[in-house]
Structure 1
Amino acid sequence: MATAGFIYDFVGVSCWNATENRVISLELRDLKLSGQVPEPLKYCRSLQKLDIGSNALYGTIPSQICSWLPFLVTLYLSDDALSGYIPATLGKCTYLNELILSNNQFSGAIPYALGNLSRLKSLSVADNHLTGTIPLFFNRFAKEDFTGNSDLCGGSKCGGLSKKNVAVIIAAGVAGAAAALLLAFGLWFCDKCQKVN
């Protein structure tokens, strides 16, 4: 029995053409899928677009994903329950134009290896639990692409102080100086009193 092209009509599956099973795109968004990012993706080596967002996926992004899918151009993993670190090996997906990881539970720092993605045009890591500094090579992306990560900082803000913290430090300094002056005046006054007596 001939099987060429049998998956062409599956929902969310696009093949190179109707006569073969070389999958070019998987768009399985909002299909109530659960479980981890599946290892059998490695059999879709021609895949250029993977969109499995808005499901109930959990666990980590497989560190081998760029080895499995070496021609990946678009990766949408948003609005799931994925966690762990963003793997530095994503920097090996050299054809990647879009990387959308927003609204998950990723933690840790944004890997500097993602700077290898010279073709990257669209990026979002918003609404996760990321920490550390936004690498400078991501300055071309909008602030909204990084919001919702309370311990993530970028640009001149990193390691700096907020206006509120600066005000507290100034107030503490003024109060300390005033207390030192009062103490010095008190000691001087007591010394004068003793000399008079």
Structure 2
Amino acid sequence: MNGRWATRCAATILLFSMTQTSVSQTVEDGVRCLHELKQSVGDPDGHLAWNFSNTAVGFVCNFVGVGCWNSQENCVLSVSLPSMSLTGSIPSGLQFCSGVTTLDLSDNSLTGPIPPNLCEWIPYLVKLDLSGNSLTGSIPPELSNCSFLNFLDLSSNSLSGAIPASLSGLERLRTLDLSNNHLSGAIPASLADSFTSSSFDSNDGHPVSSHCDSRSHTGLIIIIAAGIFGAIASHPRVLRPEMLLLI
């Protein structure tokens, strides 16, 4: 009996120790996340006047644009920094923001690609808004690893290439905006069915729904044929054998 009790007691102590270590690590990562973020972006207007010399419990929760699980912990829940004229690339310091569920860096002057490992850094993202920047490169297929994503806005950047079919696997996604980029190729069928055309508007590459391609091709043939027959009806003398072969 004593041996069994001792084993249970040891297991309980170990579990408690692991939990405390995990919480402590999350708190440390939250502070480091914000510190690295501040260091790695340009802030010409001084919006990120974050003071890390204060070590009081929950001090980061008072930072501009930062939301926490509760005010008594430094566990960062959201980072929302829209319209702050921030420059640079998507900061690699986000790898320490593992508990963040909302990341809003919209309407800034960020450049470069979207990191393909963003969802490894922040696996519990529910909202990702990178719209209104100058991001380049393709949309990483790895964004599908953000399986909790409900809101994704990458509009008004300079993203190019095809829309990854893997985004169709985001079963919780309710808002999607990829408009005003340079995207091309086919829109994955499930995305075309789930979202309106405005989600894909104003792309230089004119992406189209993959399951509309055959119907569009057939429609084009009918329009061309109708035009030819109309011309023949108006000017019967223009009828030539090669036109019949074309039809």
Q: TM-score, normalised by structure 1?
A: 0.82
- Give 1:163 shift: 7.0
Match of 1:132 among 185, 203, 218: 185
For the pair 1:178 / 2:178, whether they are aligned, the reply is: no
- Tell me which residue corresponds to 1:70: 123
Change in Cα spacing, 1:28 to 1:131, as seen in structure 2 (3 Å) is: same
Change in Cα spacing, 1:36 to 1:166, as seen in structure 2 (3 Å) is: farther
- Tell me which residue corresponds to 2:199: 145
- For 1:31 and 1:128, locate their aligned partners in 2 and report how far apart those are by CA, in whole Å: 22
**Contiguous gaps of at least 5 residues in structure 2:** 1-53, 233-237, 243-247
- Give 1:123 shift: 0.5
Contact 1:22/1:44 (8 A) holds in 2: no
Q: Which has the larger radius of gyration?
A: 1
- For 1:156 and 1:88, locate their aligned partners in 2 and report how far apart those are by CA, in whole Å: 20
Contact 1:34/1:57 (8 A) holds in 2: yes
Deviations along 1:29-64, one digit per CA (max 9) or x if unpaired, are 000101100000111110000000000011111001
- Tell me which residue corresponds to 2:33: none
SS class of match (2:79): strand
**Contiguous gaps of at least 5 residues in structure 1:** 182-197
Matched-pair identity in %: 36
Counterpart residue identity of residue 39, structure 1: S
After the TM superposition, list the runs of 4 or more consecutive aligned residues in structure 1 that deviate by more than 2 angstroms. 1-4, 155-175
For the pair 1:105 / 2:158, whether they are aligned, the reply is: yes
Counterpart residue identity of residue 47, structure 1: V
For the pair 1:42 / 2:95, whether they are aligned, the reply is: yes
Give the superposed CA RMSD: 2.5
- Give 1:165 shift: 7.8
- For 1:136 and 1:167, locate their aligned partners in 2 and report how far apart those are by CA, in whole Å: 25
Counterpart residue identity of residue 106, structure 1: L
Q: Which has the higher helix share?
A: 2
Q: TM-score, normalised by structure 2?
A: 0.66
Q: Which has the higher strand share?
A: 1
- Give 1:171 shift: 4.6
- For 1:164 and 1:93, locate their aligned partners in 2 and report how far apart those are by CA, in whole Å: 39
- For 1:102 and 1:158, locate their aligned partners in 2 and report how far apart those are by CA, in whole Å: 24
How many residues align? The count is: 181
Counterpart residue identity of residue 178, structure 1: L
- Give 1:22 shift: 1.1
